[in-house]
Structure formats: C-alpha cells, structure tokens
C-alpha cells in the first residue's frame, strides 16, 4: 500500500511544475487527485493522464483560485462525488520580476489576489468540510524568499510571508478538529517560474545551494507525500525548508 492509499486530494495549480509533480506522486501513492488550472487545457490533460496511469481517478477543473464562486461550486461538486476531501495542497502562486520602486498598484494587487486571496477562497470551503469530518491535512507552499533576504520581488515575498502566518495560526484552530496544517518553504525549483528568473540569479542560487543546483519538482512532491500522510501524526504548524541547503 502507498502512503496515501484511497485518500482524496485536491491540489491547486496542478497542470504544471510542482503542482503536476504533486498530482503524479500522490496518485502513485494511492490517492485520487483533483486539481484546478487556469489556462492550458493540454497541460491539464497531461496531468490527468499521469494520474490515471497509476490507476487512480483524476479530476481537472478550469477555474482560477481567485474565482471564489467558481471555487465553492467546484468544492461542492467534489464533496458530492467523493464525500470528502482528505488532503488540500495550496500550491498555486504567481510572481513577477520587479523592483519595489517601480512596482505598480496593479502588479501588487494581482500578486496579492492570487497568492493570498486565492489561498483564502480555496481553503475556507474545504476546511469547513474537514471540520465536519474532524480530520484532514492541509499543506501550504511558501518560499524561502519569505524568510531570507533574497533578491526576489517584494510583493511575492510579502505574500509568501503571509502564507507562513496563515499556516501557523490556522494550525492552532484546526488542531481542535483533528486537522493538521503545515507548510513547505521551497527554494528554487526547475519549473517555468524558476527558469523565468534572471540568469544572474539562477547562477547565484546554484552557488548558494549545497546541492549546487535547482531542485526537481518530484523531489518536493516525494517529501510532501509524507507530510500529508497518516504516518505523519505529530507535526502541525510547521514550515519545513526544502531548498538544497542554501547558505545566504
């Protein structure tokens, strides 16, 4: 049996990068996996195929995490179909390379809308169902940019710091209902987001990392599978750094 045998999982931003790796690894470990995506139908179908190759059910929803009514409708559909959602992974996020002095209000609000408001819109309805079931695991993806003075965008770092506060405070409330809430502070991974960083920063990061490279999405997904499994019974309110051992 896998770590997540017969679990029902929802992953935000599951059509590419770390989200896609999470869906694939969780399915391999025995879970049925639903995910949302915002644009590429082709990438979403590829994720579905990878889930189904492991003999598990995959469900894809084209809805943005910022569409609160669409998210509520989606969660209602999942509850009706599955009867429960055992695991939520809040993975979806965006970033835009910018200096604070030139950041526009539009850019600031767009990052906040996806990275913070989207976190709220998705978590709230799923959390309430977990409360009724008195069980569940929530895993939130944050960043080392939230806890170290890295040359990343201020608006991105700010939202990822908010995810840490969200995780820690929610874990205290959630513990009363048998729900664990944890987070991963990710370093730079070999994804579209990581490859979009300036060349000089990619080189700097490789030098900072004890591993001497970017992380692979599947490396994070393997660790995440343990964090949300029933063998991980005594961890909640924690932010685990997974960054290849960066020294900055």
CB 196 within 8 A of CB 179: no
Pairing of strands 8-11, 87-90: parallel
156 in catalytic set? yes
The single residue of 37, 127, 156, 205 carrying the catalytic annotation is 156
d(CA 115, CA 186): 15
3-state secondary structure the chain: CCCCCCCEEEECCCCCHHHHHHHHHHHHCCCEEEEEECCCHHHHHHHHHHHHCCCCCEEEEECCCCCHHHHHHHHHHHHHHHCCCCEEEECCCCCCCCCHHHCCHHHHHHHHHHHHHHHHHHHHHHHHHHHHHCCEEEEEEEEHHHCCCCCCCHHHHHHHHHHHHHHHHHHHHHHHHCEEEEEEEECCECCHHHHCCCHHHHHHHHHHECCCCCECHHHHHHHHHHHCCCCCCCCCCCEEEECCCECC
Catalytic residue numbers?
156
């Amino acid at each position: 049996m896998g770590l997540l045998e017969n679990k029902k999982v929802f992953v935000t931003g599951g059509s590419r990068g770390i989200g896609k790796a999470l869906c694939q690894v969780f399915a391999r470990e025995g879970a049925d996996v639903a995910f949302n995506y915002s644009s590429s139908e082709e990438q979403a179908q590829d994720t579905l195929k990878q889930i189904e190759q492991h003999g598990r059910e995959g469900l894809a929803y084209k809805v943005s995490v910022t569409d609160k009514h669409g998210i509520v409708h989606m969660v209602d559909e999942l509850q009706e179909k599955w009867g429960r959602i055992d695991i939520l992974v809040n993975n979806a996020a965006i970033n835009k390379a910018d200096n604070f002095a030139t950041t526009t209000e539009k850019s600031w609000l767009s990052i906040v809308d996806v990275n913070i408001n989207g976190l709220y819109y998705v978590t709230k309805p799923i959390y309430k169902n977990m409360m009724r079931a008195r069980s569940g695991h929530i895993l939130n993806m944050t960043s080392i940019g939230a806890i170290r003075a890295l040359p990343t965008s201020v608006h991105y770092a700010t939202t990822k710091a908010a995810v840490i506060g969200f995780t820690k405070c929610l874990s205290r409330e959630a513990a009363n209902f048998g729900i664990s809430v944890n987070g991963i502070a990710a370093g730079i991974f070999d994804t579209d987001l990581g490859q979009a960083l300036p060349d000089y920063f990619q080189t700097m990061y490789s030098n900072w990392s004890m591993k001497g490279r970017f992380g692979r999405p599947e490396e994070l997904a393997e660790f995440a599978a343990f964090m949300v499994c029933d063998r991980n019974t005594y961890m909640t309110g924690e932010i685990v750094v997974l960054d290849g051992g960066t020294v900055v």
